[in-house]
Amino acid sequence: MGAFFTATSMIGMIALAGIMVRNAILLIDFINLRLAEGVPLKEAVIEAGAVRTTPILLTAGTVVIGAVVILFDPIFQGLAISLMGGSIASTFLTLVIVPLIYYMTEKKKYPEVKEELEVSNE
């Protein structure tokens, strides 16, 4: 976008890391709560994604809209760009990649997933 990578850009990246980690922790915590209630892994992951989508999108939207205000300030333009682009990327990562990786790493621990895999292989 023609802006320099400055110290304010780095501050934006640090802030985004905190937002993304918070969203991912809340998503995984929701999955674990549903698993403790006896919900199958696949259903818990899908339900967590469905329930947490709105708060995650609202957080990203708020960051993007708030960053528009400082987008035209030459000192804080790097901060605005890193916040806007990073929040869009982190939203995708949080809603798609985090549940996918969680499911792939945890599916061996749950018998209902093993049964599904055995049936599909036959």
pLDDT tens column, 16-44: 888 889 999 999 999 999 999 989 999 99
In angstroms, the CA 89 to CA 87 distance is: 5
Residue that has been written with the tokens 């621990």 in this structure = 109
Kindly state the DSSP code that residue 74 receives in the 8-state scheme: T
State the residue range of the domain holding 88.
Answer: 7-121
Q: Is the pTM here over 0.85, yes or no?
A: no
pLDDT at 10: 84
Does 1 reside within a domain?
A: no
Does residue 2 sit within a domain? no
Question: What's the number of domains the chain is made of?
Answer: 1
Kindly state whether residue 77 falls inside one of the protein's structural domains.
yes
Pairwise CA distance, residues 90 & 13, whole Å: 11
Encode burial over 13-39: b for 16+ CB neighbours within 10 A, e otherwise.
Answer: eebbeebbeebbeebbebbeebbeeeb
